Structure 1
C-alpha cells in the first residue's frame, strides 16, 4: 500500500515568492507563452482577457505595472481619469495545467500554456487606486489588528448548477429554462460529478485545497467546500475557481451557472437556490481567538461580539452579499435559505450557525445568506467590518433560536425579536443607505 508520503498534497505545490521566482519559471518553462492578469470589477466579474507575452513580463513590470483603460471597467474610473495600471502580484502566480492548441499554419502542432497572476490596480503615479476591490479588502483586514487579530480566515461553501450547453458553451434553453443534466438530490448525482473532480484537480495542481464536494439538493446542483485560507488568498481562489470551473464545464459541454436562483420549480416542486455559505474566524498567530473550550458552545467572548456585530448590521451589508435582483428569489422560506436574523449552533433555519467541531482551531461562524454572485473581496470586507464593529462596541448577541424559525408565526418571531433580511434588492439598498458600514468600508468612490 502506498504510504502517506506518496499521496499528492496541494501543500507541496510550489508557491512563487517574488518576481525573480516568476521570471525564473518563465525562463525554465518555454511552453508558457502568455501571462494572463486577473482583477475584479465592482460587481465581481473577473477581468481575465488581459494577457501579455511571457517575454514582455520583465522585472520593471512588477514595479511599474501595465497600462489599460480603467474607464471601460465597471466601477473603476470616469473617462476623464481613466488611465490605470495593473501591477502583477508574483505571489499569486499559477501555471495552467492545460495547454492551448494553435490553429495557425505557422504552428500546426504547437500548444502553449499560460501563467495566471492577480494584479493590484494603481494610478499613473503608482499610488494605490481607491477603486481597486483588493485594496478595500486589504485595508479592512489591517483594521482587525485593533482587536488583536492578524489573520481573517474564510472557508466558502460554493454552490452552482451545471446545465446542458451548445457547441459554443452557452446554456441551451427550452421554454425559456435551462436544460438540466440530472434529477439529482443530496449526495445523489450522475456523471457530472466528474466536472467537480476535474475542476478540483486543476485547483489542486495550483496549490489549493478542498474539504468536500458533492451533489446538492436541487437537480443539476453541486457544491464544493474550500479548505480555509486567509481572506485575500481566498478571494483570489474564489475568482480563480469560477474561471477554472467554467473552463472544465465547457470541455464537458455543460454550462456552469453561479446564478442564485436559475429556476423556481421543477416538476411543480420548489427548487433550492445556490448559496455561498461563508465560514469565518479570526486568528492571532496560531491562536483562534474565536475559540474558548471553557464555554458550552466553544465560543469566546470576542466571537460572540463579532457574531452580534454581524446580526446587528447584516441588513445594511446584504446588498453586497446578495447583489442581484435574482439573489432575493433564493432568500425565501422553505428552500433551506436563511430569511430570519437569528443564530444557533446547529439550527440550519437560522442566519448564522456554529459548525460542530472538537478542534479549537476549527471553531468558526457560518454566515449562510451570501450567494455566489457576491464580489468576494467586497463581501469578505463588509462582513469583517460588521464583525469588528461588534467587537469594538462590545455587542451582546441575542438568545439562541433552536426552533425551526420557518414554522414560527410572525407574532412568535416578533416576540423573540427575530428580524427579517431584506426581501428585494431595493430593500437591501435602502438598508445600506441607512447604515454606515458599506460606505465606510468601500470608500466614497466605490460606494457612489
Structure 2
C-alpha cells in the first residue's frame, strides 16, 4: 500500500522539499525526469507527468503517439541528498490511463507478480555497482581520475594510496546512501586504476532496480564536485578491468521471507535446494540470450573475454567469467555459490538496465523451476588456468563474444524475448542499430595494424 499523501506532504515540510522529479528510464536504463513543484503531488500520483515518448529511446512511440504519463510510485520517495530541496519518485508509464507495456519498470512488476502468483515467491537481489571516475583530456581522450598521481599500480585493488584521493567522494556517496536507509557496509578501490565500488544491502528486486538507477544519478552529480566524471561504461580502458554490476540473489517465500534456495543437506555440499538448482539450470540454459540483456552494449563484450585477461587488464585478470558455468565460492565461474542459498552472477555489466535484466533473469530461472531442469555437477578449480580445449571437454560453452552474437541468440530464444513483452522488439531494433553503427567504425588499432601491412 502506498504511503499516505498527507504523510508525504508533512515529510516534504520536514525535509524542506520544494520540487519533485518524476523519473523513469529509457531502454538503456538511463534516468529521464521532469521537475515539478511539490504542490503538484496529487497530479503526479493520479495522472502523471507528460512526456513525448518518441523523444526517448525504445519506448515504442512515434511523433503521432498519445502522451506518455509518468505516474509516480509514492513508496519511492527519495530526497536528493546533494540537492536538499528536491526529491525523486520512480514512476510507471501510462498511456490513455492504462499501464504501458513498453515501460521497463511496469514490465518488471508484471514478472514479479507472476513469480508471486504462480510460485508464491519473491526475488531478493543485491547489486555491486562498479564504476570509474575519469577525466577528459583536451584532445577528447580520457584518463583515470588521479589528482595525486599515485593511482598507478598494476594491481591497485584495495590500495590505500589509490583510494586516498577518492575518500571524500566515497564518503559522500556512503553518507547519502545511508541517509536514505540503504545500508552501505563497505566501499573500496576496485581492480582498475580509477575504479570504485560502494556496496549496499540487498532488497526486493524492484527496490534494488530503483536504487541502482538512483545510484547512477547520484554518482553523476557527486563526482564533478571532485573534478571527475563518473562513468558506468563497461570497459572505458582497453588495458584495465571493466566494470560489472554483479548481482547476488535468492528467491524467498512470499509469506514468510524464508530463503528457498537453502538446503543444509545438499548432497553437492553447496547448501543449495532443488528449487535453487532448477533456477540455476534455467539461467544457464538461457545464458546466451540473457547476455544480450545483461551485457547490452557493443562495449560490454570487451569485458566478456575468454581467458585470464593478461592482455586486457594490467592486473592480470579481467575478473569476468566468459564460460556458461556454475561452481562453488569461485570467482572464475559465471554463477558463484557464495554460501548456502546465496548466488552471485559475475557476468552482468555496469551498462545494464536493471529492470529489463531482472525481468529476463527471473523468467529464465522460472523456466528452470517449471520444467525441473537439471544443472549438472558444479565446476571446481580455476577456469582461468585451463585451455579452451580443456574447458570445452568439460561440456562448457562460452557466453557470446559480441553484441551481434548475443542479439542473434535473443532472437531465437522465445522465453527470454517474451520476458520483455513488446519491449523485446524495441530492444532488438535499437541494439541492432547500435551494432551496425559500431561495426561501421574504423578504429585506430585497425589503421595501425593494416594501413601498411599489405
Partner of 1:172: 137
Partner of 1:35: 20
Residues 42, 446 of structure 1: 8 Å contact kept: no
TM-score by length of structure 1 reads 0.86
State how 1:366-445 maps to structure 2 within 5 Å: 366-445=344-423
1:72 counterpart (55, 61, 79): 55
DSSP-derived class of the 1:81 partner: coil
Partner of 1:251: 225
Deviation at 1:186, TM superposition (A): 1.3
Partner of 2:436: none
Cα 1:130–1:232, aligned 2, differ >3 Å: closer, same or farther?
same
CA separation in 2, counterparts of 1:329 and 1:319?
Answer: 14
2:180 counterpart (202, 206, 223): 206
CA separation in 1, counterparts of 2:183 and 2:237?
Answer: 31
1:272 counterpart (241, 263, 287): 241
Residues 281, 368 of structure 2: 8 Å contact kept: yes
Task: String of CA shifts for 1:186-235, please: whole Å, max 9, x gaps.
Answer: 11122213212211211111221223211111111111222110000000
CA separation in 2, counterparts of 1:16 and 1:216?
Answer: 38
Residues 346, 402 of structure 1: 8 Å contact kept: no
Most deviating of 74-83 and 317-326: 74-83
CA separation in 1, counterparts of 2:366 and 2:85?
Answer: 43
TM-score by length of structure 2 reads 0.85
Residues 185, 199 of structure 2: 8 Å contact kept: yes
Deviation at 1:386, TM superposition (A): 0.6
Task: String of CA shifts for 1:61-112, please: whole Å, max 9, x gaps.
Answer: 312222221121111122221411111111101222334xxxxxxxxxxxx6
1:113 counterpart (85, 90, 95): 85
1:302 counterpart (272, 275, 278): 275
Partner of 2:211: 237
Deviation at 1:26, TM superposition (A): 3.0
2:287 counterpart (298, 303, 314): 314
CA separation in 2, counterparts of 1:445 and 1:191?
Answer: 42
CA separation in 2, counterparts of 1:309 and 1:208?
Answer: 30
Task: String of CA shifts for 1:151-190, please: whole Å, max 9, x gaps.
Answer: 20111111111113xxxxxx33667232441225111122
CA separation in 2, counterparts of 1:319 and 1:277?
Answer: 15
Partner of 1:21: 7
CA separation in 1, counterparts of 2:370 and 2:116?
Answer: 11
CA separation in 1, counterparts of 2:63 and 2:212?
Answer: 30
User: Does 1:127 pair with 2:98?
Assistant: yes
CA separation in 1, counterparts of 2:366 and 2:184?
Answer: 27
Structure 2 gap segments, 5+ residues each: 309-317, 427-454
DSSP-derived class of the 2:29 partner: coil
Following superposition, which runs of at least 4 residues in structure 1 exceed 4 angstroms of deviation?
A: none
State how 1:46-125 maps to structure 2 within 5 Å: 46-48=31-33, 50-57=34-41, 59-76=42-59, 77-99=61-83, 113-124=85-96
CA separation in 2, counterparts of 1:148 and 1:28?
Answer: 41
RMSD: 1.9
